[in-house]
Structure 1
């Protein structure tokens, strides 16, 4: 049974309607990837699911309960959110920043769990170092660890691969896929269509604030949709047992 349901959602920012009549049902055990051109509404949809933006109309519910009327502390027990902005206000140690996501645990246990997540993300050597002394990619992984230590059932991640090198991009997606396979609902936005095609169980294709289609990568990355939405020529092919997306730009009109 889906645990996160989006029903006829519209979101208005200022005078502009940025999400139009979005409906989707998102179930545990899957990795969902939001794709679409710049301005398609990916970040706005993730913020709406995290109840960080008011809805003009419609409803987003978790296990049948309207998220908008739940107290923030209750929502935080079920939904964890990684924003696209990677700002950190204080020069805390990496392990202390990551442990902030485990407020349900006693401080010592939170730090232990945080260290384990940092270790899984290759940061054990810098766990006690202040975050201001890290590279952008290391800092991004620390903030990802903060989300992963939470006990939330639903993970919302806005461009979690920002500042990561290609090897760590894939490692992070493998880790998020494992979380989905273990029973969490993992929803993230990606600009990289190649990685979306390889790792997503289900793709949500957004364009102009509307959900164009929600389906498997094979049914999303078709020649027609790639051309209509991204102005790209492409196809999915099987190569060495993996699904690979081949793309090339179409001539500008």
Structure 2
């Protein structure tokens, strides 16, 4: 049963409608990956799912309740969000930053939860170090640990692999896949189509503010859609538990 439902969602920024009539049902236990060209509406739609921006029309509901009518504190209990911007205002320790996601716990328990999430992301040795002293990739993992320390049952992550090296990109996706398998609803945006094809349970293909198609990777990464949306020639080859997306560019029009 879906716990997050989008019903004919349209969003206007300035004079432009940037998301057009998007409808989708998102259920626990699945890893949803949103893909599309720059300007497709992925970030805007993720922000709308947190009620950070208002809808022009339509409704986004959580467990049947209109999110826009819920108090921010109530929304935060159920939905955790990692924005694409990775800014940190103060030079707190890594564990203190991650513990901000566990404010539902007593301070010491929050720090324990934060340390466990940092450890799962390979940051246990820098847990007490100030975040300003870390590399960009390490800071990105600290902010991810903050989201994962949250008790929320919906995780929204906008390009969570930014600044991560290839090994940690895969490790983070494995961790998010495990969260989905444990019963959370995990929704993220990615530009890397190869990783989306390998890890997604369901892909949301966005283009020009519209949801072109929502389906399993095998039905999204097909020649017709790759050509139409990305101007790419390619195919998804699946076999023996592996998925490989082969791509090549088409001539620019």
TM-score, normalising length: structure 2: 0.99
Alpha-carbon offset, residue 241 of structure 1:
3.4
Alignment of 1:1-253 (within 5 A): 1-238=1-238, 241-253=241-253
Gaps spanning 5+ residues in structure 2: where? none
Shift of 1:12: 0.3
Q: What do the CA deviations read for 1:185-228 (whole angstroms, capped 9, x no partner)?
A: 00000000000000000000000000000000000000000000
Partner secondary structure for residue 142 of structure 2: helix
CA distance in 1, matches of 2:11, 2:171: 34
| 1:84, distance to aligned residue in structure 2 (A) | 0.1
Deviation string, structure 1 residues 143-195 (Cα, Å, up to 9, x no partner):
00000000000000000000000000000000000000000000000000000
Residues 43-90 of structure 1 show CA distances to partners (whole Å, capped at 9, x for unaligned) of 000000011000011000000000000000000000000000000000
State the secondary structure of the residue aligned to 1:59: strand
For 2:103 and 2:120, locate their aligned partners in 1 and report how far apart those are by CA, in whole Å.
20
RMSD of aligned residue pairs (Cα, Å): 0.7
Name the stretch that deviates more: 239-248 or 190-199: 239-248
Residue 252 (structure 1) shift? 1.7
Q: Tell me the distance in 2 between the aligned counterparts of 1:114 and 1:210.
A: 37
Q: CA deviation at 1:251?
A: 1.3
Q: Secondary structure at the match of 1:11?
A: strand
Q: What is the DSSP-based 3-state SS (H/G/I as helix, E as strand, rest coil) of the residue aligned with 1:58? A: strand
Task: Determine helix, strand or coil for the equivalent of 2:152.
Answer: coil
Distance 1:27 1:114 in 2: 26
For 1:34 and 1:238, locate their aligned partners in 2 and report how far apart those are by CA, in whole Å: 20
Alpha-carbon distance in structure 2 between the residues aligned to 1:76 and 1:167: 31
- Using the alignment, how far apart are the partners of 2:202 and 2:50 within structure 1? 20
Deviation, 1:41, is 0.2
Distance in 1 between residues matched to 2:6 and 2:239, nearest whole Å: 35
Give the stretch that moved more between structures: 76-85 or 233-242. 233-242
C-alpha separation in 1, matches of 2:61 and 2:241: 38
Q: Distance in 2 between matches of 1:243 and 1:223?
A: 15
Q: What is the TM-score of this pair, normalised by structure 1? A: 0.99
Gaps of 5+ in 1: none
Report the Cα distance in structure 2 between the residues aligned to 1:213 and 1:249, rounded to whole angstroms.
21
